[in-house]
Amino acid sequence: MARDLYRAIHKAMRKDLFEVSAAIACADLTNADGLAALRGRFAGLLASMEHHAHMEDHDVHPLAREVAPETVDAVTAEHHVLDRELAELETELGALSEVPHGDVWSRGQAFYLRFNRYVASYLLHIDREERELMPALATIDAERLDALARADYEGPVEMLVGAMGNMMPLFNADDRRQILRDIEASRTAEEYAQIAAAARASIGPTSERS
């Protein structure tokens, strides 16, 4: 399969969004601990969405602008709108702790609907990146795309070893092979051996077919 800069990371993001939606759906909004746990979860989502948009704007878009400037402008504008909406949702979630007891369930349901509308907008946004921007990016020299993809696997080896347990189970065998090929190309043989061992341990001996 051709190089796809978005495939793996967008799978992880869809999982995060669906899990937060499910967490809101069943949260006890009358309970201070439940509300605090939900706010913590939401803050994590906000940080990861901001990081991802920043990475795309600063690392992917300069390259993509060479081949699809109008699409880059469109997805950059979407990042601003989506970031603002998520920040407003965080404020709305924070305000739920001040809502009179009799109104908390209706305000919680309104928040749940608004969050899912955000998810719907976000899914359309990443669909545009995958279906419009990635084919344009694929016309760029493969070595430049490879360098961009492999930049994700810089940093301390311990960090990558630790990340494998959360990361690898999110992906199918084809995704995992691409990730391991990129890591192998980015690290020394000794580092790669450590990371690949952690990757194998995270998915179990029988779940990978090559």
Tokens of 195: 């990371």
| 40 C-beta neighbours (distance < 10 Å), count | 9
**Is residue 32 within 8 Å of 97, Cβ to Cβ?**
yes
Query: Nearest distance from residue 68's CB to Fe ion, in Å?
Result: 14
Query: Nearest distance from residue 59's CB to Fe ion, in Å?
Result: 12
Query: Nearest distance from residue 76's CB to Fe ion, in Å?
Result: 9
Nearer to Fe ion, 15 or 181 (CB): 15
Query: Nearest distance from residue 73's CB to Fe ion, in Å?
Result: 13
Rounded Cα distance between 210 and 208, Å, is 6
Nearer to Fe ion, 149 or 160 (CB): 149
* Torsion (CA) 148, 173, 183, 12 in degrees, nearest 10: 50
Contacts of 196 (CB under 8 A, 6+ apart): 180, 183, 184
Start-end of H helices in 3-103? 7-26, 32-55, 61-64, 69-95
Nearer to Fe ion, 56 or 191 (CB): 56
Nearest to 173 by CA among 131, 204, 147: 204
Nearer to Fe ion, 128 or 200 (CB): 128
> Shortest Cβ contact with Fe ion: which residue?
56
Query: Nearest distance from residue 99's CB to Fe ion, in Å?
Result: 33
By CB under 5 A, what part of segment 130-169 binds Fe ion? Answer: none
Here's the x/- map for Fe ion, 26-65, by CB under 5 A: it reads as ------------------------------x---------
Nearer to Fe ion, 38 or 60 (CB): 60
Nearest to 198 by CA among 157, 153, 146: 157
Query: Nearest distance from residue 125's CB to Fe ion, in Å?
Result: 6
Nearer to Fe ion, 5 or 96 (CB): 5
Contacts of 203 (CB under 8 A, 6+ apart): 168, 169, 176
Q: By the criterion CB under 5 A, which residues form the site for Fe ion? A: 56
